[in-house]
Structure 1
Amino acid sequence: MQNLDLNLLVVFEAIMTERSMTGAARRIGMTQPAVSNAVARMRQVWNDPLFVKQGRGIRPTPYAERLWEKTRAPLLEIRDAASGDQFDPGKSGRVFRIGVTEYPVDMLWLPLRKFLEQEAPGVSLHSVPLHGNTEELLLDASVDLVIHYYVGRHKQIRSSWLFNNHLVCAVRPGHPMLQSLKSGDVLPLEDYLAADHLMVSLTGAASANVDSILRRQGLARRVAMTVTHFAAIPPLLMQTDLVCVTPQAVVARAVKAGELVIVPLSFEIEPAPISLVWHSRQDRDPGSIWMRKLISDFATVEAKRLADYFLRG
Structure 2
Amino acid sequence: MDLNLLRTFMAVYEARSLTGAASALHVTQSAVSQAMSRLRRDVADELFYRSGREMLPTPYAQELFPVIRDALGRIENAVSAQAFDPATSSRRFRIALSELGEMHWLASIVERVSAAGSGMGVDVIQLDPAGMADTLARGVVDVAINSAVVPGRFQTWTLKHEPYVVLMAASNPLASGELDLAAYRGASHAVVTGESGHSNIERAVDALGGAREPVAVMNHFTALPPMLCATDLVATMPYSLAVRWAREWPLVMRDLPFPFDPVQVRLYTRSAHQEASSLLWFRDIVLAATEAESGFTPVPADPA
8 A contact 1:51–1:61 mirrored in 2:
yes
**Pairing partner for 2:182 from 182, 190, 202:** 190
1:169 aligns with 2:200: no
How far apart are 1:266 and its partner, in Å?
6.0
How far apart are 1:16 and its partner, in Å?
2.2
Question: Cα distance 1:180–1:101, how it changes in 2: closer, same or farther (>3 A)?
Answer: closer
Which structure has more relative contact order (CA 8 Å, sep 6+)? It is 2
Q: What's the secondary structure of 1:221's corresponding residue?
A: coil
**Pairing partner for 1:62 from 55, 58, 65:** 58
**Pairing partner for 1:116 from 113, 116, 134:** 113
Cα distance in structure 2, aligned partners of 1:254 and 1:19: 42
Gaps of 5+ in 1: 305-313
Cα distance in structure 2, aligned partners of 1:160 and 1:236: 30
1:264 maps to a residue whose letter is R
1:221 aligns with 2:220: no
How far apart are 1:96 and its partner, in Å?
5.2
How far apart are 1:297 and its partner, in Å?
2.2
8 A contact 2:145–2:266 mirrored in 1:
yes
- What is the aligned partner in structure 2 of residue 34 from structure 1? 31
Question: Cα distance 1:280–1:41, how it changes in 2: closer, same or farther (>3 A)?
Answer: closer
Cα distance in structure 1, aligned partners of 2:113 and 2:146: 22
RMSD: 4.7
- What is the aligned partner in structure 2 of residue 178 from structure 1? 172
Question: Cα distance 1:26–1:90, how it changes in 2: closer, same or farther (>3 A)?
Answer: farther
- What is the aligned partner in structure 2 of residue 290 from structure 1? 281
1:50 aligns with 2:48: yes
8 A contact 1:99–1:130 mirrored in 2:
no
Gaps of 5+ in 2: 296-304
1:264 aligns with 2:254: yes
1:9 aligns with 2:6: yes
Question: Cα distance 1:98–1:303, how it changes in 2: closer, same or farther (>3 A)?
Answer: same
TM-score (norm 1): 0.65
Spell out, residue by residue over 1:176-197, the C-alpha distance to the aligned partner (whole angstroms, 9 max, x if none). Answer: x813433xx4434432220244
> What is the percent sequence identity of the aligned residues?
24
Aligned length: 286
8 A contact 2:14–2:138 mirrored in 1:
no
Question: Cα distance 1:166–1:84, how it changes in 2: closer, same or farther (>3 A)?
Answer: same
8 A contact 1:189–1:265 mirrored in 2:
no
TM-score (norm 2): 0.67
**Pairing partner for 1:212 from 195, 204, 209:** 204
Cα distance in structure 2, aligned partners of 1:126 and 1:42: 34
1:296 maps to a residue whose letter is L
Cα distance in structure 2, aligned partners of 1:165 and 1:7: 44
How far apart are 1:76 and its partner, in Å?
2.4
Cα distance in structure 2, aligned partners of 1:204 and 1:277: 15
Spell out, residue by residue over 1:39-94, the C-alpha distance to the aligned partner (whole angstroms, 9 max, x if none). Answer: 44445554427242634xx2314344443344222222222222134532223455
How far apart are 1:214 and its partner, in Å?
8.3
Question: Cα distance 1:286–1:24, how it changes in 2: closer, same or farther (>3 A)?
Answer: closer
